[in-house]
Chain A
């Protein structure tokens, strides 16, 4: 068997923390990011004796919304189940999850790769509760200790399971970024992978072409970024092919963990020790009825999703495809664009200035869209100043920089420093002075060094602090030099 005769099958399980105000089964805040450990807890999410869960309606709705966005079959009746396993971070030693009647059944997600579209099947989307966080360390006197922070315990967690439809790490990455964008546009999660709001486990198996795919698969965990998912899958693709080449047998079915530092996956446990979760229906929660009325109101409330935004940007705004994708990938930026384009008739020019200069200025001044003072209205005002000839493009760039740092509008800044100089007499005087002050350059030009003209134009611009109309200066210099 040679390395080219394999095909890869990848399925992804994504866990998404929903950004609801309260937890899944109690009224504790689910926004634990900046909280002291064990401060956002109550008897319910601590699993104290005698407590009962109450379903967070918003979490159910957000899960249904996600299901609708993924074209899933929505269950008219769903239920919760207890998933039993013994681990200290699980307060009740069972997790309330969904087993055989998830809120959302079959659906699909369209990914685009190298300008080709592909549908990835969605197996199911269900709702469950997050566990507490375990922190392992050492005490001051050197004892090994394990600490528990239960703030995360009971935060709503939505699990999205894909079919094993992806055939490369690239497709897996495209699936994840597409899915993440949809979640962001639905506004159901921060979908931040570093914070653990978006987690991904992967199943991957590599099979020789021509042999039917078996059900042996390797599960990979501990991937904390899209990059890690990509690298882990690429590593695993190669490792499994090597096993085939060496042994002629499929790789062992097991769970492996991605180790970022060494860039490899290592065996965690084999499936022989697979859990028996002993699922059974959660007796503390009656079955959930999903009414047609709820579904239609959710459909009505469905925000515009990346796919149709892309279409709109291409068809109505006539943006370049890459610009449209860049905007969609940065939702705040897209919202900024949408607001600005309402008042500005040149979408591509708007996109150019936003994606090139504005994004760079924000980065340079270490600020972001939300906290910088430039509003879409001010941005449009700036572009219009140039369109109307009040400023030149150099000034536009300079003004944008100063707008970000000073908090002033383009008009205010122009009023302070003056607009573009277009007065013929004034420009004539300046050009004459520059010609007079730079005899060497003039001589060079006459000797055939054409670029000396550019130098002279530059000198005029410098003298006017960029305010001179560069086209007019160009013309005048040419005239003076006898072109």
Chain B
């Protein structure tokens, strides 16, 4: 069952939100010990919200997400609910305010069932960097769910919530969505307010929906989108009705296939599935053409200068003074701050802080940070040029299916490579999504679609058309427990 199906049942009073929420909480109880998608389960809050939603539904017109159990990536500030970012540093930290998106969902009567696991501070591609536990891939418990929104994707795939929110900095929604066989949307930078999203790389971070089908993703995206006076980088552009375009023909839609995304390093069976999906788009009337994004190969290196540079400042505030972990056995204030950071942060976070600090240091700034900014401009203009001739791009999300737990954790470079195809769009700030396009070795594979800024309606329209045509409708992983 999808959220929009459940929403219909709720409004027809065939089920209540309390029943739905209880079922979800029960499901969490069953699968969570094996899956580990949650950092915390907010049963009490969920039941309270479910009761309130049922009352609201009785009273009349409500939002289609009213009463729907939703999971939140634990990087979204949630008032009075522990928000850890998957880090020891923020273990036990209970923020006093809601992120704008959380407030919006709370306002329309959504039910918050839990905070979902992630790589510490969203830094990683496998959710193995969580300070608390790893999350497993619901399709194969020996595999990773992807990351950093691994908990958000795994929870949706395994029915631990109806839909969830993730965040995407270099692929952190699209890649786990692909690995877990769900739909994930990375909106245009600025489309969704970042206020209350704990920052990793401010110029790249974007919150987006993860869902079991395109329609659910569209509903959730619409609910969280819009300009925000608390986020100066948010776009004050009217939010379209994303569901309205679903079901419209994609006849004549120009789809570009970037040749750089199909080079060596791409697994054959992934390539085959993605090309097949592109053929199906053509069958639906899309005009498919090969295009080139010549600076693609520089995106990964550029990203690993810019994102850590921003992160090195964003994560500076965690010093044990105001909140979160504080080493109280230290000898003085300086020692307290230094040792709290040394102990509170995990390896990957420290690696990126060091990388970023280095890239910004006097004498290195010009050759690293500044140069990376210039390359970022080139990557952006690659997309600008291509979108003169095509409406959207179709490509793989990641070079392989979900890899095995532990496989890449000791090899950062190999780990970083799994984001090579999602990072360019993040760098350009454009919109993208991942929609399931089949299985290889019994594991899901996603089709990535990218469009220019604010092209979410076109992307959702195309993804929906493909989803309907391909009939790869969501099926639950067996997850025998």
Could you tell me which A residues sit within 8 Å of B by CB distance? 43, 46-55, 82, 84, 86, 88, 91-94, 146, 148, 276, 278-280, 283-286
Contact = CB atoms under 8 A, between A and B. Distances in A.
A278 B357 contact: yes
A48 B317 CA distance: 8
Contacts of A52: 194-195, 230-233
Nearest to B102: A50
24 contacts: A43-B97, A47-B317, A47-B322, A48-B95, A48-B96, A48-B97, A48-B323, A49-B318, A50-B77, A50-B199, A52-B194, A52-B231, A88-B319, A91-B317, A91-B322, A94-B316, A276-B362, A278-B312, A278-B361, A280-B313, A283-B310, A284-B202, A284-B233, A285-B233
A146 B202 contact: no
Nearest to A49: B198
B156 to A, nearest CB: 23
A280 B369 CA distance: 9
Contacts of A280: 309-310, 313, 360, 365, 369
* 8 interchain residue pairs of minimum CB distance: A93-B316, A283-B202, A283-B203, A278-B360, A50-B77, A49-B198, A50-B196, A50-B198
Contacts of A46: 322
Contacts of A279: 360
A48 B229 CA distance: 18
B361 A49 contact: no
B310 to A, nearest CB: 6
Given A49-B85, A286-B232, 9 more contacts: A48-B322, A49-B90, A50-B196, A51-B196, A54-B232, A94-B313, A278-B360, A280-B369, A285-B232
Nearest to A46: B322
Contact of B99 (A50, A54, A91): A50
Contacts of B313: 82, 84, 92-94, 278, 280
A96 to B, nearest CB: 10
B333 interface: yes
B197 interface: yes
Interface string B193-223: 0111111011100000000000000000000
Nearest to B318: A49
Instruction: Classify chain B's interface size.
Output: 35 or more
A441 to B, nearest CB: 80
B337 A50 contact: no
Nearest to B323: A48
Interface of B is mostly: loop
B479 interface: no
Contacts of B199: 49-50, 284
A39 to B, nearest CB: 15
A92 B231 CA distance: 17
Nearest to B358: A278
Interface of B: 76-77, 83, 85, 90, 93, 95-97, 99, 194-199, 201-203, 229-233, 309-310, 312-313, 316-319, 321-323, 333, 337, 357, 360-362, 365, 369
B69 to A, nearest CB: 23
A51 B357 contact: no
Nearest to A82: B313
A146 B232 CA distance: 34
Nearest to B370: A280
A50 B337 CA distance: 20
Contacts of A47: 317, 322
A84 B316 contact: yes
Given A94-B313, A283-B203, A86 B232 contact: no
A28 to B, nearest CB: 14
A384 B317 CA distance: 66
Centre residue among A47, A49, A84 by max chain B CB count within 10 A: A49
A55 B361 CA distance: 27
A84 B357 CA distance: 10
A51 B361 contact: no
B197 A50 contact: yes
A53 B318 CA distance: 18
A102 to B, nearest CB: 19
Contacts of A84: 312-313, 316, 360
Contacts of B77: 48-50
A55 B97 CA distance: 20
Nearest to B332: A144
Nearest to B85: A49
A49 B337 contact: no
A231 B340 CA distance: 43
A92 B232 contact: no
A150 to B, nearest CB: 8
Contacts of B333: 88, 146
Centre residue among B196, B317, B337 by max chain A CB count within 10 A: B317
Given A278-B360, A285-B232, A49 B310 contact: no
A148 B195 contact: no
Nearest to A136: B333
B232 A43 contact: no
Contacts of B85: 49
A169 B265 CA distance: 69
A452 to B, nearest CB: 79
A86 B229 contact: no
Centre residue among B90, B194, B360, B361 by max chain A CB count within 10 A: B360
A205 to B, nearest CB: 23
A43 B316 CA distance: 16
B109 to A, nearest CB: 23
Centre residue among B90, B196, B318 by max chain A CB count within 10 A: B196
A82 B313 CA distance: 8
A86 B337 contact: yes
B321 A88 contact: yes
Contacts of A278: 312-313, 357, 360-362, 365
B361 A54 contact: no
A189 B230 CA distance: 26
A67 B95 CA distance: 40
A48 B98 CA distance: 12
A92 B319 CA distance: 9
Nearest to A146: B333
Contacts of B96: 43, 48
B324 to A, nearest CB: 8
Contacts of B195: 50-52
Contacts of B93: 49
A55 B229 CA distance: 10
Nearest to B99: A50
Nearest to B89: A49
Nearest to B316: A93
Given A52-B230, A94-B313, A88 B337 contact: yes
Nearest to B196: A50
Contact of A276 (B76, B309, B337, B361): B361
Given A278-B360, A284-B202, A49 B232 contact: no
A39 B317 CA distance: 20
Nearest to B98: A50
B412 to A, nearest CB: 23
A46 B316 CA distance: 13
Nearest to B320: A88
A152 to B, nearest CB: 15
